[in-house]
Structure 1
Amino acid sequence: MTEQLRGDPLDPRLADSRDDLERENNKLRKINAALIQRVEKSMDQQANAYSLFQTAITLESQVRGRTEELKNALSRLERTNDELLAARDAAERANRFKTRFFTAVGHDLLQPLHAARLTCSALAEPNGTPQQQRLAGRIEHALTTIEELLISILDISKLEAGAMSPSLRSVPLNDMFASLALDIEPLAREKNLSLTWRQNNFAVISDPQMLRRIVQNLLANAVQYTQKGGIKLAARRRGGHVRIEVWDTGPGIPPTQRELIFEEFRRAPSTDRPLIGGFGLGLSIVQRMAEALNHPLGLCSTVGHGTRFSISAPFAGTVQQSASLTGTASHAVSYGLNDSKVVVIDNDTAVLEAMQSLLQSWQCEAYLLRDLGELEELISTLSFVPDIVLADYHLDNDTCGITAVDLLRTATGRFIPAVVVTADHTARTSDEVRANGCELLLKPVKPAELRALITHLVSRADGAAS
């Protein structure tokens, strides 16, 4: 019985017990594996969290460093901006100073030159000796050169300082052409060159002073480099613009030189010494003023045949030609000035003395005054009506010559013709002078131009009175 119990494999109780143990063992292994997997996963999450924590700390440190660098950069930028603002303010102050300086210098330099030209013209009158006339001619030539150089330097300086800004309005070209021809014709005649200009009824939108300066420089440049033939001034309508042209029969400009001639102190090759200027500033001023006016500048040249400079300005319509300027200069001075009574008001003694000599050589009666006080004394004893008044714009004690003209007109009850002389080339001064019914002459005054203007104004006043 006992052996049967020990070795009987078919005992169902032992088989069931073994199966139960195996199932229990498998179940425990699964539970253990699940627990181990959960523990490992938990440990991985903790490791990742720690890694993220370390990464966050590192990023925070980097952000703090970048923020500090940005603050430092902003601080440097603020300091730089402050320095730039200070530099800009200093530059603006310097420009304002240069503007005032060049205005004052322009007057102080041109004032003695104005007196010298008047005195020189008196020496060159026909009743002088040949020796006097020859010396006077040389002095006049030297003064003209100095004048053109000074004006060119002042123009360049004003352009650099930003003190020359355009004042646009309608500008009749015919009157401007006639005035320019009167100025340039003596220079052309000295070189046996013809000077012709085509009358027109065009008006353009431009700054009258700057446009005149541009065309004057182009004409002077043409005379300077032309040895035979002539110069022609014309205006042609081109759509919505008018093209002002200056033609010459000079040597022409090679293509390699056409950009260089607009640089300062650059001169085209020439066999002759220049009549005026000669420092290569004229075309540089032309280019800068044309850019300031937004007027396109043109150049067409053929070597050996000549050159055409042009500048285009917006068309402003047509105007009636001025009867006073459609004739020639010789017609303007055909009237006599004998016994014309001229009141001269100027605070510069040298100018008064030179003007007295000049007017006496023209057979005029000159009454010389320095200020409003002397004018009031003259008015109190006035037994005649002056034929014309010549007044300097800037008198002593911040007095304007226009005020003197108004006083004399009020005292006589007559609209006496008046010419205001000034070295101030601004449009504001020009507008003020013309608004008060006066003519404007810029220093240094050309005696021939002064005589022609006096003759015209006096003869027109006589004609109106009759």
Structure 2
Amino acid sequence: MNDEDDPSEQLPSRQSDLRRAIDKLRKINASLMKRVEHSMDQQASSFSLFQTAINQEAQIRRRTEELNLALTKLAQTNVELSKARDEAERANVFKTRFFTAVGHDLLQPLHAARLTLSELTDAQSETDNKRLALNISNALVSIEELLTSILDLSKLEAGVFVPNIQSVVLEAIFEQVASSLEPMTRRKRLRFRWRPTDLAVRSDPLMLRRIIQNLLANAARYTEEGGVLLAARPRGDDVDIEVWDTGPGIPQQEQYRIFDEFQRGTASERSGGAGFGLGLTIVRRMVDALGHRLELQSRVGHGTRFSVFAPSASTPKKYAQSPRALGEESNYLVARQVIIVDDDLTVLTAMQTLLSRWGADVRPARDLEDVGEILSDPAFSPAIVLADYHLDEGIFGIDVVRRIRRRVASDIPAILITADRTEDTAEAALRSRCELLLKPIRPSELRALMKHLLG
């Protein structure tokens, strides 16, 4: 038997080979297990990512639905807000038109009443009758102030007031507002002074005049002793228009509140509750609309100063007027020939009587036909025309003035009288070289303007 075939000798070698094979298989198995475990880990991670992605997709879908719902609600809200805005704008337009129409209808009889009352007052000789006439006049003034304030506020809120910025000569405005304030200060025995000035500003002439008028009226209303002063002075690039009074003053805690609607302060209570608390509100809103600046300084027991700062402007060369004293008396209307045109017979009669008492030779007319008959008289040559702005049959006072000026071949002075407070009316009067008075006119204001125009 050969040694190589001896089983006892081959057994250890086979066992060794078998161990190596087992070790190799173990290593292979371990490696395979690691790979399997790694693969399972990757699958688990991928599954987790998959689940996360599914969850995120669901969240995104929910968020998208919520966003779409919010956008839909926002669109609906915008539509509702747009409708509400349109309704509010329509309501504002309606309110403005309503107040303008009502204001015109109310101002017309007030205009006639003021003219007739002026005639009645002048005709009275007994003290008691004059006192009663004065009480009626004060009541009419209160109605006029309230109505005018409501009209102004409604137009400011509706944005109807659009400033017409131009160079404004302050002395011309000072003369006009002084003539309208003088009767009140004379009745209360207050000293009223205004300083002549050659300054001019960049502003809207009608709005600036209204601002100064309200400040002066406020000062005179609450001042019982002393006086009121109107002045202007340069302040850098601006002009400071100042209204001083020696009234009771305004406490510090009330100095902001008085610019709110229907706020009058303790001074009003001491003066018997005069006024409606709208004057300073209109001043503040008009100053803001013009881009000017308003300042207030006051000491209780000493008085108050309001200052309006407006941009300075160069004074037009054509303006070379010298101020007239408020108390100056002259026979400027004696034998002066005047045409007055109005389609309201009551107003026409009252105006004719008033001017006749001032010494004028008055010819009344209700339409263009009457004007033609008046001008056919070769002995009549009008020195001035007073015409209502809106006449019957769509005729305007401007048309009448043009017709008269052509017939007499002269650019004679003319005053248009109207309750229409729009910028279009003011600009039309300016283009036609006519002065404008707003109803109801004050006789003293009319007298001062006519004296100014007739020289």
- Report if TM-score (shorter chain) is over 0.5: yes
Of residues 307-316 and 253-262 in structure 1, the stretch that sits farther from structure 2 once superposed is 253-262
Contact 2:200–2:315, Cα closer than 8 Å, also in 1: yes
Q: After TM superposition, give the deviation of residue 427 of structure 1 in Å.
A: 3.4
Of 417, 423, 430, 1:427 maps to 423
Change (3 A) 1:39 1:437: closer
Aligned to 1:415, what secondary structure does the other structure show?
A: coil
Give 2:447's aligned residue: 451
Partner residue, 2:396? 400
Post-superposition CA distance 1:7-27 (Å, at most 9, x none): x9xx75443232222212211
Q: Does 1:195 align with 2:192?
A: yes
1:116 corresponds to which residue? 113
Q: Which amino acid aligns with 2:239?
A: V
Q: CA deviation at 1:236?
A: 1.4
The CA deviation string for residues 107-143 of structure 1, in whole angstroms up to 9 with x for no partner, is: 2221111111110111122675555434332222222
Gaps of 5+ in 2: none
Gaps of 5+ in 1: 461-466
Show the counterpart of 1:440: 436
Give the aligned partner of residue 464 of structure 1.
none
Cα deviations across residues 180-207 of structure 1 (Å, max 9, x unaligned)?
1111122112121111111111101111
2:238 to 231, 236, 241: 241
Q: Does structure 1 conserve the Cα–Cα contact (< 8 Å) formed by 2:173 and 2:209?
A: yes
Alpha-carbon distance, 1:241 to partner:
0.7
Do the aligned residues in 2 keep the contact of 1:202 with 1:319 (CA within 8 Å)?
no
Within a 5 Å distance, the mapping from 1:262-301 to structure 2 comes to 262-270=259-267, 271-273=270-272, 278-301=275-298
Q: Secondary structure at the match of 2:171?
A: helix
1:124 match: secondary structure: helix
Cα distance change on mapping 1:253 and 1:320 into 2, 3 Å:
farther
Q: CA deviation at 1:386?
A: 2.1
Q: Distance in 1 between matches of 2:413 and 2:114?
A: 23
Confirm or deny: 8 A CA contact 1:385 1:412 kept in the other structure: yes
1:368 alignment counterpart: 364
1:276-355 to structure 2, matched below 5 A, reads 278-319=275-316, 324=321, 326-331=323-328, 333-355=329-351
Q: Distance in 1 between matches of 2:447 and 2:34?
A: 119
The number of residue pairs the alignment matches comes to: 451
Q: Is the 8 A contact 1:231 1:249 kept in 2?
A: yes
Q: Given the alignment, which residue of 186, 189, 192 partners 2:183?
A: 186
From 58, 71, 96, the equivalent of 2:93 is: 96
The farther-off stretch of 23-32 and 315-324 is: 315-324
Identical positions, percent: 53
Q: CA-to-partner distance for each residue in 1:35-74, whole Å, 9 max, x for gaps?
A: 2333333333333333333333333232222222222222
Instruction: Check the 8 A contact 1:174/1:321 in 2, yes or no.
Output: no
Amino acid of the residue matched to residue 175 of structure 1?
A
Aligned to 1:409: 405
C-alpha displacement of 1:211? 1.3
Given the superposition, is the C-alpha separation of residues 133 and 361 from structure 1 closer, same or farther in structure 2, using an over 3 Å criterion? farther
Kindly tell me: are residues 456 and 46 of structure 1, through their superposed partners in 2, closer, same or farther at Cα, counting changes over 3 Å? closer
Structure 1 residues 340 and 24, CA gap change in structure 2 (3 angstroms): same
- Find the aligned partners of 1:149 and 1:321 in 2 and give their Cα distance: 37
Choose which of 74, 77, 89 in structure 1 pairs with 2:74. Answer: 77
Say whether the 8 Å CA contact 1:297–1:309 is kept in structure 2: yes
CA–CA distance in structure 2, aligned partners of residues 164 and 205 of structure 1: 17
Shift of 1:380: 5.5
Q: Report the Cα distance in structure 1 between the residues aligned to 2:216 and 2:360, rounded to whole angstroms.
A: 34
For 1:107 and 1:205, the matched residues in 2 are separated by 30
Code of the residue aligned with 2:340 in structure 1: it is: V
2:158 aligned residue: 161
C-alpha separation in 1, matches of 2:211 and 2:346: 31
Q: Is the 8 A contact 1:95 1:162 kept in 2?
A: no
For the Cα contact (< 8 Å) 1:201–1:321, is it kept in 2?
Answer: no
TM-score (norm 2): 0.91
Per-residue Cα deviation, 1:375-418 (whole angstroms, up to 9, x for no partner)? 34545566532222111111123321100111122123232321
1:106 pairs, out of 99, 103, 108, with 103
Shift in alpha-carbon separation, 1:129–1:225, aligned structure 2, 3 A: closer
1:315 CA displacement = 0.9
Q: CA–CA distance in 2 between the matches of 1:261 and 1:232?
A: 21
- What secondary structure is seen at the aligned counterpart in 1 of 2:240? strand
Report the equivalent of 2:207: 210
Alpha-carbon contact 1:175-1:322 (below 8 Å) kept: no
Distance 1:58 1:83 in 2: 37
Deviation of 1:426 (Å): 3.1
Question: SS in structure 1 opposite 2:162?
Answer: coil
Q: Distance in 2 between matches of 1:169 and 1:45?
A: 83
Separation of aligned partners in 1, 2:317 and 2:228: 25
Q: What is the alpha-carbon root mean square deviation over aligned residues?
A: 2.6
Q: Secondary structure at the match of 2:230?
A: strand
